[in-house]
Structure 1
Amino acid sequence: MQGRVLIVAGSDSGGGAGIQADIKTVTALNGYAMTAITALTAQNTQGVFGIHEVPPDFIRQQMRLVLEDIGADCIKTGMLHKTAVIETVCEALAAYAPKTPLVVDPVMVSQSGHRLLDPAAMDALKRDLIVRATVLTPNLPEAELLTGCTIRDIDDMRHVGHMLLTLGPAAVLMKGGHMDGETVIDLLVTEQETLAMEAPRIDTGSNHGTGCTLASALAVGLAQGLALRAAVERARAYVREALRTAPHYGTGSGPLNHAHTVRDFAAQP
């Protein structure tokens, strides 16, 4: 086991996204996952039906206790739904992990369309959190909300990716899965280069939690000392195989197969 990852995000009772997907991903890639839970959600493959908020002071306490005792090689944020939560998380980062690499997944809307970020918190997200990011990992709808631009093609993706760099992150991983076409193109954008990563689209209805999973797979790669490009490439390969071998649970958008890297000990004598 190598690479300590603290995940600051919401819980998904259905297990396909959020904290549950994050823990599975980090563990499947041989890292050590820790958590600071920001909200509890009642959801399944058909959608989000309820959100129970965690008090900001308790979020800070979770982060402080983990970071002071165990430490972290990378931190990943997911659902931070209110301005007070974002501000608290940023204060804790500054106090307890100011130099730790940070992967920011700007979770705003669930796959079923349920809003997971208070619109009033957008300024805090951009002003306080994204500026700290080692890597920002927006999907295309999130990138459009963050910039106010419409993304229609790969040129728009490049333009918006560079716009997002001006918010302060060291790198932006633009996830292109929402764009139509038989090929999915993700862009890794830095000040030095823009790298396009292409792969055939996997046609499946079991794609719940892909964003959480990719960001956590990237975070554990950075925690294990991989260079940024290598960490992104491994994360994308992990997610693609998790999509390809998804178990097709539930009647809506089903979960991925996070365990595809795990050896079946039950089958051993």
Structure 2
Amino acid sequence: MPEGHTLFRLARDQSSAFAGRPVHVTSPQGRFAAGAALLDGRVLDEVTSYGKHLFACFGADTLHVHLGLYGSYTSGAGTPPPPRGALRMRWEGDGPDGGGVWTDLRGATACEVLTTPEVDRILDRLGPDPLRPRTDGTAAHRRIAASRTAVGALLMDQSVLAGVGNVYRAELLFRHRVSPFRPGRQVDADLWARMWADLVVLMRAGVRMGRIVTTRPEDRHRRRGAVLRDDAHYVYRRTGLPCRICGTEVRTEVMVGRNLHWCPVCQAV
């Protein structure tokens, strides 16, 4: 499932390509036909993200998209290819340079037109998003500190913290040597403040690079230049490989339906 930095980039790119101009909206698959007809030909104001949600504002109506596990966008310039398969939604328009632009949506969990109160209800049930301007993690810590649930599960709860997924969860906990099995109420305010500040930096870097890189230069095989795929993470998808810090085999266990990765020595309970 795409994490928050990916949605932030999508919102930025879609706003750049389509905002301020009429958008031709269709649903070749037919599943979003009514919503497409409502939005077709209207001017897009902007696209924003909050956590793992995208909101495209067309005046009083907002298109809400949640990609879920299988959703994806494909975009391009010029004439779009002929529609194929389960193409939920297509946008076409004139780009900022006058040329044609398009984007296709497939496989999303949610693709729906909402009113402002309906959008507000979604936002009200989400925790703070580290990528939103002037946001701090105090509200997230209040939820974490009041819970006996393992912090590894709490970090995946979008009502606690919006935009964090499996990669950021595993890597953030490792970087701060926190066991994913530690109860939330054992994460004190000072530790959380450090984790939140680190998360903001990591996710902003993810927006810039278009990928998640969490290792420090001194912990990579290649110290300079592009970060190789094998050097990008400390524990995520490194099951059975030696920990970059202590050499212990990285372990995996399912937590809240996703594979959790951690080092049992560096992140001892």
TMscore range, shorter length: under 0.3
- TM-score under structure 1 length normalisation: 0.27
- TM-score under structure 2 length normalisation: 0.27
Where is the helix percentage greater, Structure 1 or Structure 2?
1
Q: Which fold has the larger relative contact order, with Cα–Cα distance below 8 Å and residues 6 or more apart in sequence?
A: 1
